[in-house]
């Protein structure tokens, strides 16, 4: 079988040139006589790989030496604990903008240690929009405000980084390198790699060094301390070496595509191809409110679950897989991260038009 | 350059057939049209991979349904925290057999929450042996005794699983699948994958289900709870999917080699080739005491640091890399995990004899 078009929400499609480069060097990396997977993380050849990945990402995101990049493990889910355990002390005030399932999980986790308040919460509307941040309600003594930049399940996204009077923390798992934010506005941003960066098992943390002071919470596990990982250049223990290598190749690919600004343009074009169909049809029912729409995950329903199942099945027969919505929401979801091309989205759009003609 | 002989302590050499299989399926896994790295962790094709890996490991280790296998992240270093946070309550008594650098780190971490006592400690002798466990000193109210089955840096190993009147917890990172223990004697055993199992970033936990009760420590991060991961078949969040796939291939390779008993025989043969040279020479100085010697990491010194540097350099010129000892200990270390063949150790042995002739 040829390569499929993979609309999965994560782990997700990766750029083919990146996969081909991995394949080429899999058994013998650039004539060194071994696989990247076999390299000691303290060898010079591996240090070149991790250092280049770090510098490339800082470069892509326009970050100066005031920022550090950490290569960690545990996914966004572990960050739900690490953020409160590092940026606050027990009982401190912190805000959460609860705009989706994972935002809610982040908030629930923080409540274990902090006075964590949901400053906004769109749960009652099934998370179909991003509420505006009520800046005047913010107590400036709060340690931070946590947002989920893109809500993968619901297909909503912050179009701009909110301006707030407290440090801003963002889960950027599903739109890092796909949406062109000014990362200097974040005190901390984190992302699981498996959507736009590389394989699952690598987590990237971007942190303004002013928030990197020594962790005084003596009960925090060593592996959950940002200060420890930063001091050791993400080599406190063995990091996910192969995932970092793949992420590094992806950063090179992002550069070759013209950087995040160019990819964002392409992503807007891709998303609009689908939203245009949703907006000019009563056959497809868009889920997210217009002003909150994601350019990474496009969510919609059909009139019946049977029709949705048929849609997923017929698309699959045409080589377009993983279009079923998340179990929390149901319906259809097309995740169109950086690795998905305009042509591939065009194929989905054409399929949607034919499917509508056949079943309206 | 041809493939080198890689004596690294971890990340370490992997079996060539495993690497070749990964290479073959890298871009398009068995005709499915996508890479394993791109598979949704909730897809049927990925579930087949993780379930087969779990069953194969249980099978290899002779474990019945009373045991669970968890595929986690964070390395042994995160287990240093997870063990006390899951198997005990704050202030409880737990024992540590401190037989090396990582054993000591595990003990230090546990002291954050528990009354953790070093039941044995060979630090004064630079960890050059494994002290016997003083069973009569054990208070049976202790939650567990933690041992480090193989001390990678120092080249020492428990030849037998100690019999103790409290639950036994073992860090088996550097001899799992290389040394044939009876795993039913452990309440819990854990291993970072990067020595005998696969790429760094995957951690395997083998747990007797009787120790899997609901975690009542409400301040424990969700991602650090064994009960949560077990209930969700290691799919609570996105696991390190590619690492699990590679570990699964390694389990198949272990089976094809005749299982752990056969590999242990081969490892003993390999280790003895090197120990024989050390024991019949006054040019090489073995580090570990005879009765505590590891079959995975062989450590020794030469008379001067200059000679050691020359040894490492000349070996490298002959395609044998990563023979320099760990920075904590210095000297020479040859790590000869499962993936290193008898022929490859033979080459090192021959080199050692020639080097001795040239520089004695």
A312: contact with B, CB 8 A cutoff = no
Tens-digit pLDDT profile for residues B3-28: 999 999 999 999 999 999 999 999 99
What pLDDT is recorded for position B327?
Answer: 87
Say if residue A9's pLDDT is above 90: yes
Tens-digit pLDDT profile for residues A110-143: 999 999 999 999 999 999 999 999 999 999 999 9
Say if residue B344's pLDDT is above 70: yes
Say if residue A239's pLDDT is above 90: yes
d(CA A63, CA B247): 37
Residue B227 · residue A268 · CB < 8 Å: no
Q: Is B73 in contact with A76 (Cβ distance < 8 A)?
A: no
Say if residue B51's pLDDT is above 70: yes
Q: Is A322 in contact with B43 (Cβ distance < 8 A)?
A: yes
What pLDDT is recorded for position B328?
Answer: 87
Say if residue B274's pLDDT is above 70: yes
What pLDDT is recorded for position A255?
Answer: 98
Write down how long chain A is: 360
- Nearest CB to B238: which of A194, A241, A242? A194
Structural domains of chain B ordered from first start: 5-15+260-359 (3.90.1150.10), 29-256 (3.40.640.10)
Say if residue A105's pLDDT is above 90: yes
Mutate to test the interface with A, among B240, B250, B324, B340 (most CBs of A within 10 A): B240
- Nearest CB to B322: which of A14, A40, A319? A40
Q: Average pLDDT for residues A268-275, to the nearest whole number?
A: 98
Q: Average pLDDT for residues A211-233, to the nearest whole number?
A: 92
Q: Average pLDDT for residues B77-95, to the nearest whole number?
A: 97
Classify the complex by whether its ipTM is higher than 0.95, answering yes or no.
yes
Residue B52 · residue B248 · CB < 8 Å: yes
Q: List chain A residues with CB under 8 Å of B6.
A: 33-34, 38
* Residue B279 burial (C-beta neighbours within 10 Å; 0-12, 13-18, 19+): exposed
Q: List chain B residues with CB under 8 Å of A37.
A: 11, 14, 19, 198-200, 246
Query: What is the DSSP secondary structure assignment for residue A293, as one 8-state letter?
Result: B
Q: Is B199 in contact with A241 (Cβ distance < 8 A)?
A: yes
What pLDDT is recorded for position B218?
Answer: 81
Q: How many CB pairs under 8 A join A and B?
A: 219
Q: Is A241 in contact with B11 (Cβ distance < 8 A)?
A: yes
d(CA B68, CA B232): 12
Q: Which two tokens stand for residue A112?
A: 């274990």
Q: What is the band of B1 on the pLDDT scale with cuts at 50, 70, 90?
A: low
The whole-chain average pLDDT of chain A stands at: 97
Say if residue A1's pLDDT is above 70: no
Q: Is B222 in contact with A80 (Cβ distance < 8 A)?
A: yes
Q: Give Cβ neighbours of residue A261 (< 8 Å, ≥ 6 apart).
A: A180
Chain A closest-CA separation from residue B236 CA (Å):
9
Say if residue B268's pLDDT is above 90: yes
Q: What is the band of A328 on the pLDDT scale with cuts at 50, 70, 90?
A: confident
Alpha helix positions (H), A210-318: 226-231, 241-256, 259-279, 305-317
Q: Is A199 in contact with B241 (Cβ distance < 8 A)?
A: yes
Classify strands A168-171 and A145-148 as parallel, antiparallel or unpaired. Answer: parallel
Tokens 């150790």 belong to which residue? B345
For residue B320, the cross-strand partners are B5
Say if residue A290's pLDDT is above 80: yes
- Nearest CB to A19: which of B27, B80, B238? B27
Chain A closest-CA separation from residue B280 CA (Å):
31
Say if residue A256's pLDDT is above 70: yes
Q: Is B237 in contact with A33 (Cβ distance < 8 A)?
A: no
Question: Would you tell me which residues 48-77 of chain A have a C-beta closer than 8 angstroms to some C-beta of chain B?
Answer: 73-77
Q: Which of A6, A19, A8 is nearest to A249 (CA)?
A: A19
Say if residue A48's pLDDT is above 80: yes
Q: Average pLDDT for residues A63-83, to the nearest whole number?
A: 97
Mutate to test the interface with A, among B45, B80, B200 (most CBs of A within 10 A): B200
């Amino acid at each position: 079988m040829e390569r499929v078009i993979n609309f999965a929400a994560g782990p997700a499609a990766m750029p083919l040139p990146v996969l081909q480069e991995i394949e080429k060097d899999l058994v013998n990396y650039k004539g060194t006589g071994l696989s990247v997977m076999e390299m000691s993380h303290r060898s010079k050849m591996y240090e070149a790989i991790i250092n280049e990945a770090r510098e490339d990402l800082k470069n892509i995101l326009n970050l100066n030496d005031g920022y550090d990049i950490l290569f960690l493990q545990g996914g966004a889910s572990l960050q739900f604990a690490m953020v409160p355990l590092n940026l606050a002390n027990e009982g401190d005030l912190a805000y959460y903008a609860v705009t989706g399932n994972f935002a809610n999980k982040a908030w629930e986790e923080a409540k274990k240690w902090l006075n964590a308040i949901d400053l906004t919460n769109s749960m009652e509307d099934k998370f179909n929009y991003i509420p505006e941040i009520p800046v005047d309600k913010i107590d400036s003594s709060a340690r931070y405000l946590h947002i989920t930049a893109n809500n993968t399940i619901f297909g909503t996204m912050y179009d701009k980084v909110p301006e707030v009077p407290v440090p801003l923390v963002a889960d950027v798992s599903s739109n890092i390198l796909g949406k062109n934010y000014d990362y200097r506005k974040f005190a901390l941003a984190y992302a699981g790699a498996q959507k736009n960066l590389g394989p699952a098992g690598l987590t990237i943390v971007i942190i303004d060094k002013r928030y990197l002071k020594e962790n005084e919470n003596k009960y925090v596990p060593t592996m959950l301390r940002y200060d420890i990982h930063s001091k050791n250049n993400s080599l406190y223990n063995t990091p996910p070496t192969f995932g970092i290598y793949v992420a590094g190749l992806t950063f090179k690919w992002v550069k070759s595509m013209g950087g995040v600004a160019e990819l964002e343009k392409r992503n807007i074009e891709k998303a609009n191809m689908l939203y245009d169909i949703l907006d000019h049809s009563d056959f497809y029912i868009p889920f997210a409110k217009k002003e909150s729409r994601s350019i990474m995950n496009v969510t919609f329903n059909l009139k019946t679950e049977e029709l949705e199942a048929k849609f997923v099945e017929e698309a699959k027969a045409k080589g377009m897989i993983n279009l079923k919505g998340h179990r929390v929401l149901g319906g259809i979801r097309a995740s169109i991260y950086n690795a998905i091309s305009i042509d591939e989205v065009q194929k989905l759009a054409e399929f949607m038009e034919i499917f509508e003609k056949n079943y309206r």
